[in-house]
Amino acid sequence: MTSLPLPAHHPALSASDPELAALVGAEERLQAETLRLIPSENYVSHAVLEASGTVLQNKYSEGYAGRRYYEGQQNIDQVERLAIGRAKALFGVDHANVQPYSGSPANLAVYLAFAEPGDTVMGMALPMGGHLTHGWGVSATGTWFRGVQYGVRHDTGLIDFDEVRDLALKERPKVIFCGGTALPRTIDFAAFAEIAREAGAVLVADVAHIAGLIAGGAHPSPVPHADVISTTTHKTLRGPRGAMLMCREQYAKPLDKAVFPGLQGGPHNQTTAAIAVALHEAGLPSFRDYAHAVVANARALADALLARGFDLVSGGTDNHLILMDLTPKDVPGKVAAKALDRAGIVVNYNTVPYDPRKPFDPSGIRIGTPSLTSRGLGTQHMAAVADWIDRGVTAARTGDEAALATIRAEVADLMAAHPAPGIPV
């Protein structure tokens, strides 16, 4: 049994399962007190948290609204229709499926809809910034299909569209994925669409990382260029852990069929409800401000890091994400990430393009501004953030634990002045 304090605002949980309640309380404190820089994370609103903890959890509803295999769907159908209608309006798409359990199953559904096992599929290589599910070897998408992979140029850190085009025309993939998980630059959806059209491939824009920026007008939209749009709902979009697939009407049937019954059983209705709430919030004027502030903060942070001699992949950022190669600082990414964690700054170690080190011990760290922007930090705070990272990385190299403790206290002070959404103080 843990000796951690019980969170008074979870009375039922604390009474029924104090061990678990104490861990939830500890995680709340950790998220409140630390500077969370992992670019795929965020703080959801209290409303999103509430929606994801409702009795909608109790309901089975295999099928789609109006076509279920279970009775008692009077409310569930409306919840799902609400989420779908909001997704369509927010992103300007013909069709939305809000049932995928998360981003990886959403992408798997795309393959199921448009490719046969053994077919060639194409995406960005994982070490270049792509996602596992874009045909990388250790993923089912790279073993059940023949994954061919493009990257970024060594000299610029940018996608080489001549290379992408040559590869697509040579390999004739059924599906081309664009988007990724460590891409600091704007994705040129129109350029990908032209290549996919020439190669006869279905173009999938995986906008998991940037969906909130697109919704808020801070990144160009993949509509009308992509045939299918895949996204998680829990990153910049600031919703619950889940995913959506959106597409033109002509692709709706195969996609829906691939999600259910192709891959999944009953949708997680409490998540669908929370997605609906997040989509409502993302349609508010304040969310446009948020999305633009995320980008402004990332640019200011990138500038401040460059001024301190950090090597940023592609030389900076256009979005919410910064990928740093720490080789010139003489500290491996993992050593830096673990030291920063001790300093109250949460990042993840990451490969950089053409990384000579192994993925589990790579050269870089990946950071982003969605979470700190959700707490109300602005460009005026980014010099301090860069300074903490700089001092933290130096302390990682010299083994200076006292310096890390000093940073941790400074971070906690700023965090206390900027309460995190959804976390009771």
Q: Applying CB under 6 A, does 240 fall inside the site for ligand PLP?
A: no
Instruction: Please indicate whether residue 241 is annotated as part of the active site.
Output: yes
Contacting range for ligand PLP; rule: CB under 6 A; set: 8-16, 50-58, 135-143, 174-182: 174-182
Residue count, binding to ligand PLP (CB under 6 A): 14
Instruction: Please indicate whether residue 232 is annotated as part of the active site.
Output: yes
State which residue has the least CB distance to ligand PLP: 103
SS3 of the chain: the string is: CCCCCCCCCCHHHHHHCHHHHHHHHHHHHHHHHCEECCCCCCCCCHHHHHHCCCHHHHCCCCEECCEECCCCCHHHHHHHHHHHHHHHHHHCCCEEECCCCCHHHHHHHHHHHHCCCCCEEEEECHHHCCCHHHCCCCCHHHHCCEEEEECECCCCCCECHHHHHHHHHHHCCCEEEECCCCCCCCCCHHHHHHHHHHHCCEEEEECCCCHHHHHCCCCCCCCCCCCEEEEECCCCCCCCCCEEEEECHHHHHHHHHHHHHHHCCCCCHHHHHHHHHHHHHHCCHHHHHHHHHHHHHHHHHHHHHHHCCCEEHHHCCCCCEEEEECHHHCCCHHHHHHHHHHCCEECEEECCCCCCCCCCCCCEEEEECHHHHHCCCCHHHHHHHHHHHHHHHHHHHHCCHHHHHHHHHHHHHHHHCCCCCCCCC
Please identify, using beta-carbon distances, which residue of 14 and 350 lies nearer to ligand PLP. Answer: 350
Which listed residue (34, 73, 104, 374) binds ligand PLP by CB under 6 A? 104
Among residues 232, 233, 351, 369, the one annotated as catalytic is: 232
CB of 111 to ligand PLP, least distance (A): 13
CB of 209 to ligand PLP, least distance (A): 5
Q: Applying CB under 6 A, does 252 fall inside the site for ligand PLP?
A: no
Restricting to residues 44-103, name those near ligand PLP by CB under 6 A.
Answer: 102-103
Distance CA 267, CA 234 (A): 17
Which listed residue (159, 208, 294, 336) binds ligand PLP by CB under 6 A? 208
Spell out the residues 6+ positions from residue 390 whose beta carbon is closer than 8 angstroms to its own. Answer: 305, 308, 310
Instruction: Please indicate whether residue 290 is annotated as part of the active site.
Output: no
Burial string for 344-365 (b: 16+ CB within 10 Å, else e) reads: bbbbbbbbbbebebeeeebbbb
Please identify, using beta-carbon distances, which residue of 210 and 218 lies nearer to ligand PLP. Answer: 210
CB of 139 to ligand PLP, least distance (A): 10
Contacting range for ligand PLP; rule: CB under 6 A; set: 84-92, 162-170, 203-211, 415-423: 203-211
Please identify, using beta-carbon distances, which residue of 147 and 180 lies nearer to ligand PLP. Answer: 180
Please identify, using beta-carbon distances, which residue of 210 and 382 lies nearer to ligand PLP. Answer: 210
Instruction: Please indicate whether residue 235 is annotated as part of the active site.
Output: yes
CB of 330 to ligand PLP, least distance (A): 29
Restricting to residues 117-146, name those near ligand PLP by CB under 6 A.
Answer: 131, 133
Q: Applying CB under 6 A, does 42 fall inside the site for ligand PLP?
A: no
Please identify, using beta-carbon distances, which residue of 275 and 331 lies nearer to ligand PLP. Answer: 275
Please identify, using beta-carbon distances, which residue of 329 and 366 lies nearer to ligand PLP. Answer: 366
Among residues 185, 235, 366, 391, the one annotated as catalytic is: 235
Q: Applying CB under 6 A, does 149 fall inside the site for ligand PLP?
A: no
Q: Applying CB under 6 A, does 206 fall inside the site for ligand PLP?
A: yes
Among residues 33, 50, 62, 171, the one annotated as catalytic is: 62
Instruction: Please indicate whether residue 311 is annotated as part of the active site.
Output: no
Residues with catalytic roles: 60, 62, 206, 232, 235, 241
Rule CB under 6 A: which residues touch ligand PLP? 40, 102-104, 107, 131, 133, 179-181, 206, 208-209, 232
